[in-house]
Structure 1
Amino acid sequence: MIAIGSDHAGYELKQQLTQYFKEQGIPFEDFGTDGLASVDYPDYGIKVGEAVATGKYEFGIVICGTGIGISISANKVKGVRAALIYDENTAKLAKQHNNANVIALGGRTHPFEMAVKLVEAFRNEVFETRHQRRLDKLAHYEKEHSK
């Protein structure tokens, strides 16, 4: 299952992606926002990040105007590795090298067709375990500095 959320600037792209997921039979849960009224991206980046950190979701998708602010927000959640992806190569590498569990897109920078390509490129990759020691260092830092 995919966790997805956006602020107002990412709302339209989120709606298009959730419609695509419905059509493809891809399970997801929408964490908001529910319209175009101005909201704060940290609220939704953190909601999706917390949901993914529970382990219930395969991964998360967060969307704001550029994807930058909401990716920073999601990365504040312990255990989240959110990656701003902007082409198929970064989508693949986010999974292969970083085992990202949240991807960030820009509602103002990614047309729907490109967003689908990026999501699918990410979904179809696998983590290359040779990079695990780097993730272990991040986890160690989180553990030591979350006191």
Structure 2
Amino acid sequence: MKIAIGADHNGYELKEGVKAFIEQNTEHKIVDYGCHDCEAVDYPDVAYEVSRAINEGELDRGILICGTGLGVAISANKYPGIRAATCHDTYSAERAQLSNNAQILAMGAQIIGVEVAKKVVGAYLNVEWAEGSKRKVDKINEIEKEFAGKGVQETMEE
């Protein structure tokens, strides 16, 4: 599997730890979308690049990290067709993939440390969507299609 990984400056160190874990313990190929040091980077920019690569089929799944995991998930979920889930425990990470076919796992570097993050990533990468909740995921996709192309103001006026 080809995995995108990206972080803002708050998530840089955790990203590096997770990346090393994946490279040393799995057969997955990692593509690093930054940041590549601790200089300030805005998480929507990194989330956009990872989401685009997954949506266009360049990569299979992604891992995004910021301070809380919330900003990168919100940003990634704005990209059409993307389902990103913020997870800080193994059960949620496993269910994000099994139940929701989440293409992106989001985590917060200020919430969990590298050892817990490794376990969360392992749980997420070691399962495949079995379409058990396909009906629900299809409904999510239909809601997205209903609002596709509409601006925020148009949606609020309806």
Place the TM-score, normalised by the shorter chain, in its bin. over 0.9
Structure 2 unmatched runs, 5+? 150-158
For residue 38 of structure 1, report the CA deviation from its aligned partner.
1.6
Name whichever of 49-58 and 110-119 sits farther off: 49-58
The whole-number CA distance in structure 2 between the counterparts of 1:6 and 1:53 is 18
Matching of residue 145 in structure 1 with residue 144 in structure 2: no
SS of the residue corresponding to residue 38 of structure 2 reads coil
Counterpart-to-counterpart distance in 2, 1:131 and 1:23 = 32
Can you give the 5+ residue segments of structure 1 that lack an aligned partner in the other structure? Answer: none
TM-score by length of 1: 0.94
Distance 1:114 1:20 in 2: 12
Q: How much is the aligned-residue C-alpha RMSD, in angstroms?
A: 1.2
Q: For residue 95 of structure 1, what is the aligned residue in structure 2?
A: 97
**Which residue of structure 1 aligns with residue 86 of structure 2?**
84
Amino acid paired to 2:13: E
Asked if residue 31 in structure 1 is aligned to residue 37 in structure 2, the reply is no
Post-superposition offset of 1:10: 0.3
Q: Distance in 2 between matches of 1:76 and 1:46?
A: 9
Q: CA-to-partner distance for each residue in 1:94-136, whole Å, 9 max, x for gaps?
A: 1111111100011111211111100111111232423111111
Size of the aligned set, in residue pairs, is: 147
Post-superposition shift, 1:45? 1.1
CA deviation after TM superposition for structure 1 residue 71, in Å: 0.6
In 2, the alpha carbon distance for the partners of 1:126 and 1:23 equals 21
Separation in 1 of the partners of 2:90 and 2:18?
Answer: 17
CA contact (8 A) 2:98 2:132 kept: no
Cα distance, 1:23 vs structure 2:
2.0
Kindly report which structure 2 residues correspond to 1:33-48, keeping only aligned pairs within 5 A, or say none.
33-48=35-50
Distance of 1:30 and 1:79 partners within structure 2: 21
- 1:18 matched residue in structure 2: 19
Q: Give 1:41-80 correspondences, 5 Å limit.
A: 41-80=43-82
- Separation in 2, partners of 1:102, 1:40: 18
Scaled by the length of structure 2, the TM-score of the pair is: 0.88
